[in-house]
Amino acid sequence: MAKYSTDRIRNVAVLGHGGSGKTTLTEALLFKTGVTTRIGRVEDGTTVADWEPEEQRRGLSINLSVIPIEYENLKINLIDTPGYLDFSGEQISALHVAEAGLILVDAVAGAEVGTELAWDTLNEQKCPRIIFVNKMDRENANYEHVIDSLHTTLGNAKIIPMQLPIGQADTFRGVISLVTMKAYMGKESKEAPIPEDMLAAAEAAHTAMAEAAAETDDDLIVKYLDGEDLDPEEVRHALHQGVRNGTIAPVYFGSATTDVGLERLLQGLGRYVPAPDEHPIVAQQDENPIELNNDPNGPVAAAVFKTIIDRYVGRMNYVRVVSGTLHKDSTLINERTKHSYRIAGLSIARGKELINVNELVAGDIGVVTKLEDLLTGDTLTSADHPIQLERANYPRPLYSVGISPATQADSAKLGHSLHLLTEEDPTLRIQTISATKQTVLQGMGESHVDVAVRRLETKFGVKVETSMPKVPYRETITKIASAQYRHKKQTGGAGQFAEVHMRVEPLTSGEGFEYVSEVFGGVISGVFLPSIEKGVRQVLNQGVIAGYPVVDVKAVVYDGKEHPVDSKDIAFQTAGREVFRQAMKEASPVLLEPIYQVDVTVPDEYMGDVMGDFNTRRGRVQGMDQKNNRTVIHAMVPLAEILRYGTDLRSMTQGRGVYTIEFDHFEHMPSYLAETVISQHKHEDHEE
Ligand SMILES: Nc1nc2c(ncn2[C@@H]2O[C@H](COP(=O)(O)OP(=O)(O)OP(=O)(O)O)[C@@H](O)[C@H]2O)c(=O)[nH]1
Ligand SMILES: [Mg+2]
């Protein structure tokens, strides 16, 4: 591959609903630009972008994949991303290092939930965007329908068709450019006059496009309103500005499988995706903000946006250089750990293929290999003036499974392998929940966690069993109560003696645990007060009714007795433990359950169903917001009721609902439900 200067590089994240044809498009463009000599198919597992065995097995993308192509003296780094919601972390990583997003839309389905989500993410990141309506060759492909659905779904942003398709479905054979006002026919994109019967429509669409373009530029709008015709260069310049500042989303049409429209799409990408040096970013250097302009002669800073632990290559880190030039064999540091590395393995990636290079200029994307401790979110930079680049924001996990090693041998390797797994994927988390004594793997959904579990086995050789996650309940009391306990042991050897009188009082939620002494007159020596506390704290972890941690309780020692010889630390620990347990039992203990804030976004027509469903989950709807043609419902719901919410929401809304969850607070659990948890605990205890 030739060398490209920063201004000749374009980085585009390919986004969109699952199955809209992103991977197929990258495959077609690889072929079209002469990189490959045959076109692979997603179904056959033969595409360059879907190279992981798991992707080939499932016939969809799971990981982002960097696909560089060369076109008209430009290097376009396409980053293919998975459309399936479970893998949305990859879209975020890709967008973090791209100057624009290319949203693919299925010409039959129109805007789908994945389109909306890509759009939302682009809005959040204030990222320029271009829309490609793919599959124009499919039966029932419909231009008006797609444009309508984009307008209603994505709000009143300026979605501006740059073309009119010529024919649709099996008659789709070319596009009319509304800038040049010419037709471009077939694979070759052969220039032709606009078909007679489309002239009027093309004129009208041209006017709408030119007006939108002119509105981005004060001088141009004056000229336009004066009735002067704008020449194509003026229109393009204005469109470029509009795309760059996010006010215009140009729309192209084509088919990745018949290769109609792809030539014009490539030209559009070259023209309208901002070059890296047009996109300054703010970073930190020596704790001061600095602006980086992708200057290849500037200080070195490269963002790691994807980590893969490959069985053969070892640790691979995908980097985007945002300042300076990364030279092979140079020495750089990891800004986070200050670990210093020699950059021995430097390459550009095309799917799984690595092509060695000697340098990577600002604006480009490549891979560094075998640098330990380096991972997604880190910055590679120089030791003398380290730069810290901003990290991407990943969503919180929504779905959990309990995991345990299948065998003893797996147990030894599990911890390390899980760690590597989370290093590869910032949307996966491992937590050891002490309240339930369970190790939990958390991800974005069932498929995400499934893939992770499979990866554990195929990649790291660790087999695990999965189970339903347990809810981390808490225990607390609802009234004041007291108890007395005397611990006395005089059989053989030295005796033990301790007597403690204790009162327990409920605290307000979130106050945790308090331990105080009201003993006076020295009935219990000061040295034994910590011993009693130690005993109490043992119970705090084990609970008294169902084995869950005790919270929001104050324990007050108010009286007791000791023996001059037999009283000792251990005796008071025992007495503390027992008296606390008894007092707790007297104080009407209850279970607390975690309540989560759940925010669900659904098309308006599903709002009623989703709200009704919350009633069956003991949920409380707190409010609603409107977002284009979607409703956002805010509710408080017990965790126990939403462990598998994703699956239910999907079937309730035909896959069109999305949600986020966040822990909010603990609440008393209704006693009829608490009883089940308590009796289950007794049962398990018995089995142990
Ligand atoms: N008719 C037609 N089919 C297409 C076109 N582009 C893609 N497809 C088919 O659509 C299906 C999905 O294509 P993919 O390329 O895997 O879609 P994707 O967007 O990468 O999907 P995810 O990776 O799951 O997000 C495949 O069967 C493709 O052959 C097109 O332009 N026309
Ligand atoms: Mg794909």
Q: What is the CATH number of the domain that holds 528?
A: 3.30.230.10
Statement: residue 684 has pLDDT above 90: no
Does residue 137 surpass a pLDDT of 60? Answer: yes
Q: For 411-420, what is each residue's pLDDT tens digit?
A: 999 999 999 9
Q: In the structure, what pLDDT confidence band is assigned to residue 359 with cuts at 50, 70 and 90? A: very high
Q: What is the pLDDT of residue 20?
A: 97
Which pLDDT belongs to residue 225?
87
Instruction: Supply φ then ψ for residue 315, to 5 degrees.
Output: -80, 120
Nearest to 83 by CA among 60, 101, 102: 60
Write the pLDDT tens digit of every residue in 159-211.
999 999 999 999 999 999 999 999 999 999 999 999 999 999 999 999 999 99
> Which amino acid appears at position 564 of this protein?
P
Band of residue 72 on the pLDDT scale cut at 50, 70, 90:
very high
User: With bands split at pLDDT 50, 70 and 90, how would you rate the model's confidence at 395?
Assistant: very high
Task: Determine if ligand 1 sits within 6 Å of the CB of residue 60.
Answer: yes
Average pLDDT on 325-344 reads 96
- Judge if 372 and 501 occupy the same domain: no
Q: 661: closest CA among 647, 646, 650, 675?
A: 646
Q: List CB-based neighbours of ion ligand 2 within 5 Å.
A: 22-23, 61
Question: Residue 688 above 70 pLDDT?
Answer: no
From the CA of 24, the nearest ligand is 1
Q: Distance from the CA of 14 to the center of ligand 2, in angstroms?
A: 9
Whose atoms come closest to the Cα of 109: which ligand?
1
Let me know if residue 524 belongs to a domain.
yes
CB 259 within 8 A of CB 266: no
CA distance linking residue 590 with residue 176, whole number of Å: 71
Distance CA 602, CA 599 (A): 10
Q: Counting ligands in written order, which one lies closest to the CA of residue 105?
A: 1
Tokens of 611: 């709200």
Total structural domains within the chain:
5
Ligand 1 in contact with 18 (CB < 6 A)? yes
Give burial (CB, 10 Å; 0-12/13-18/19+) of 559: middle
Q: Do 37 and 172 fall into the same domain?
A: yes
**C-beta 81 within 6 A of ligand 1:** no
Same domain, residue pair 21 and 76: yes
C-alpha to C-alpha distance for 171 and 608, rounded to whole angstroms: 41
Token output for 123: 């809005």
Would you list the DSSP string of 319-357?
EEEEESEEETT-EEEETTT--EEE--EEEEEETTEEEE-
For ligand 1, say whether the CB of 82 is within 6 Å of any of its atoms: yes
The angle at the Cα of 62, spanning 125 to 69, to the nearest 5 degrees, equals 70
Residue 43 Cβ contacting ligand 1 at under 6 Å: yes
Residue 494, pLDDT score: 76
User: Pick from 247, 278, 309: which residue ends a domain?
Assistant: 278
Q: Which residues contact 510 (CB under 8 A, 6 or more apart)?
A: 552, 665
Give the pLDDT score at 156.
63
Beta bridge partners of 489: 496
One domain, residues 607 and 627: yes
Cα separation, 37 vs 31, whole angstroms? 6
Please give the structure tokens belonging to residue 429.
């988390």
Q: What is the pLDDT of residue 575?
A: 95
| Cβ atoms of residues 255 and 135 within 8 Å | yes
Give the model confidence (pLDDT) of 40-63 as tens digits. 999 999 999 999 999 999 999 999
34 and 118 housed in the same domain:
yes
Q: How far is the CA of 108 from the centre of ligand 1 (A)?
A: 12
Please check whether residues 537 and 609 belong to one and the same domain.
no
Tell how far the Cα of 22 is from the centroid of ligand 1, in angstroms: 6
> Does a structural domain hold residue 685?
no
Q: Is the CB of 115 under 6 A from ligand 1?
A: no
Banded model confidence at residue 495, pLDDT cuts 50, 70, 90? confident
H or E stretch covering 676? helix 671-687
State in Å: Cα 255 to ligand 1 middle. 10
Asked if the structure places residue 62 within a domain, the reply is yes
Q: 369 lies in a domain?
A: yes
Residue 15 within any structural domain of the chain: yes
217, 247, 278: which is the final residue of a domain?
278
Give the domain CATH number at 344: 2.40.30.10
Amino acid, res. 313 = V
What pLDDT digit, counting tens, does each position of 227-265 carry? 888 888 999 999 999 999 889 999 999 999 999 999 999
Containing 214, the helix (H) or strand (E) segment is: helix 199-214
Mutation test of ligand 1: which of 42, 60, 61, 81 has the most ligand atoms closer than 8 Å to its C-beta?
Answer: 42
The Å distance, Cα 38 to ligand 1 centre, comes to 17
Residue 522: pLDDT band (50, 70, 90) is confident
Ligand number with the minimum distance to the CA of 88: 1
Q: What is the position in ligand 1's atom list of the atom closest to the CA of 27? A: 15
Do 29 and 129 fall within a single domain?
A: yes
Instruction: Give the three-class secondary structure for 668.
Output: strand
- Domain encompassing residue 203: 7-278
Is there a domain that residue 243 lies in? yes
Could you identify the atom of ligand 1 that is nearest to the CA of residue 254?
A: 31
Tokens for 79?
A: 């980053």
Q: Are residues 558 and 443 part of one domain? A: no
- C-beta atoms surrounding 510 within 10 Å: 9
* Any ligand 1 atom below 6 A from CB of 138: yes
Q: Do 295 and 373 share a domain, yes or no?
A: yes
Residue 584 has pLDDT above 60, yes or no: yes
CATH of the domain at 448: 3.30.70.870
Q: pLDDT exceeding 70 applies to what percent of the chain?
A: 99
Residue in the block written with tokens 């099996």: 170
pLDDT (mean) for 489-507:
88
Band of pLDDT at residue 470, cut at 50, 70 and 90: very high
What are 280's two structure tokens? 């300054």
Average pLDDT over residues 624-642: 92
What digits encode the pLDDT tens for the residues 139-162? 999 999 999 999 988 876 689 999
Q: Is 42 in the pocket of ligand 1 (CB under 6 A)?
A: yes
Contacts 24+ apart (CB under 8 A), 221-228: none
- Tell which residue, 629, 605, 609, has the closest CA to residue 621: 609
HSE on the CB side for 438, CA within 13 Å?
Answer: 19
Asked if 134 and 27 sit in the same domain, the reply is: yes
How would residue 681 be classed by pLDDT, with cut points 50, 70 and 90? confident
* Distance between Cα 22 and ligand 2 center (Å): 5
Average pLDDT over residues 328-342: 96
Find out whether the beta carbon of 22 lies less than 6 Å from any atom of ligand 1: yes
Q: Is residue 399 over pLDDT 60?
A: yes
| Residue 562 or residue 307, greater confidence | 307
pLDDT at 493: 73
Q: How confident is the model at residue 287 (pLDDT cuts 50, 70, 90)?
A: confident
Q: Indicate the pLDDT class of residue 331, thresholds 50, 70 and 90.
A: very high
Beta strands at 429-433 and 438-443: parallel, antiparallel or unpaired:
antiparallel
Distance 152 CA to ligand 2 centre (A): 26
Task: For residue 626, report the distance from its CA to the centre of ligand 2, in Å.
Answer: 31
Instruction: Say whether both 128 and 253 belong to one domain.
Output: yes
- Would you say residue 248 lies in a domain? yes
The response to whether residue 506 sits with its C-beta less than 6 Å from ligand 1 reads: no
Q: Which atom of ligand 1 is nearest to the CA of 49?
A: 20
Q: Is the pLDDT of residue 521 over 90?
A: no
Give the DSSP letter of residue 68: E
Q: DSSP assignment of 123-143, as one string?
A: HHTT--EEEEEE-TTSTT--H
CA-wise closest residue to 66 among 367, 374, 379: 367
CA distance 577 to 674: 24
Across-strand partners of 182? 177
Work out the average pLDDT over 560-589.
92
Segment 285-299 mean pLDDT: 93
**322 with 381, same domain?**
yes
The enclosing domain of 80 has a CATH number of 3.40.50.300
Percent residues over pLDDT 90 in the chain:
83
Per-residue pLDDT tens over the stretch 442-452: 999 999 999 99
Q: How many helices (H) and strands (E) does the chain have?
A: 16, 37
Q: How confident is the model at residue 545 (pLDDT cuts 50, 70, 90)?
A: very high
Distance 361 CA to ligand 1 centre (A): 33
Q: Would you say residue 678 lies in a domain?
A: no
Residues with Cβ < 8 Å from 361, sequence gap 6 or more? 4, 5, 6, 9, 296, 321, 325
Q: Alpha-carbon distance 240 to 414, whole Å? A: 51
Q: Is 20 in the pocket of ligand 1 (CB under 6 A)?
A: yes
Residue (of 174, 104, 198, 209) closest to 146 by Cα position: 104
pLDDT at residue 366, as a whole number: 98
Last residue of a domain, one of 564, 588, 612: 588
Residue 433 has pLDDT above 60, yes or no: yes
